[in-house]
Amino acid sequence: MAQARARRLGRAFYERSSLVVAPELLNKVIVAGRCRGRIVEVEAYKGAEDPASHAYRGRTARNAVMFGPPGHLYVYFTYGMHHCANVVTGAAGVAEAVLLRAVEPLAGLDEMRARRPAARRDRDLANGPGKLCAAFGLDRDDDGVDLVRGPVRIVDDGVAPPNTPASSPRIGITKAVDRPWRWYVGDS
DNA sequence: ACCGGGATGTTCT
DNA sequence: GAACATCCCGGTG
């Protein structure tokens, strides 16, 4: 079926609370080079009010991008092996971000398979925060890239977010585990 | 299918 | 020195 032309999200989209931006990122498309994927799972983190956030105890070298202007990528390295990618939201100086937890591959699957040899099925290429960074080739070099003007981008291709996205507590954290700040596309 | 443990190195206490 | 916004493999049922 015909699809509206993809349009890059503007700065204003990101300059809002992570709790608002997170569910709206569902069904948007992340693009890096030839690779494209539909965002199907996200989590919100809110610096000062959120003990689970990297920014909770203030600015450090690692989390500096979270304190910068919205619409940039915050990429960090963890567990000695994996990278995770976040979309920085909120005004400059407000350390909020949305973790990209899962993406459904749309294009560039050959590149993704080459970078994710452990994935047995295509659906396993990017269904996790570390996996999607590997599949799309995101690493520390992408920390701070501008999603509005830079090489990695997030676009709206005409597929609306779910009207009532499924939500649940966040995953893989040990603090503030009760907050239902994870959203996902139900049938994915 | 589900569960348990090990890998691996940066960051912060 | 501990914790970590994770992933993979090999066990068992």
- Per-residue pLDDT 10s for chain A (188 aa) are 556 689 999 999 999 999 999 999 999 999 999 999 999 999 999 999 999 999 999 999 999 999 999 999 999 999 999 999 999 999 999 999 999 999 999 999 999 999 999 999 999 999 999 999 999 999 999 999 999 999 999 999 999 999 999 999 999 999 999 999 999 998 77
Q: Sign of torsion, CA A18 A138 A6 A119?
A: negative
CB A48 within 8 A of CB A34: no
Tell me what pLDDT residue A187 has: 73
Q: A61: which nucleotide lies closest, measuring CA to C1'?
A: B11
pLDDT by residue (tens digit) across A43-76?
999 999 999 999 999 999 999 999 999 999 999 9
The amino acid at A20: V
Note the pLDDT of residue A3: 62
Global pTM exceeds 0.75: yes
A110 contact partners, CB below 8 Å, separation of at least 6: none
Q: How far apart are CA A98 and CA A94, in angstroms?
A: 13
Residues 80-109 of A with CB under 7 A from strand C: 80-82, 84, 86, 97, 99
With distances taken from each CA to the C1' atom of nucleotide C3, the closest residue turns out to be A79
- CB-contacted nucleotides of strand C (7 Å): 3-9
pLDDT given at position A17: 98
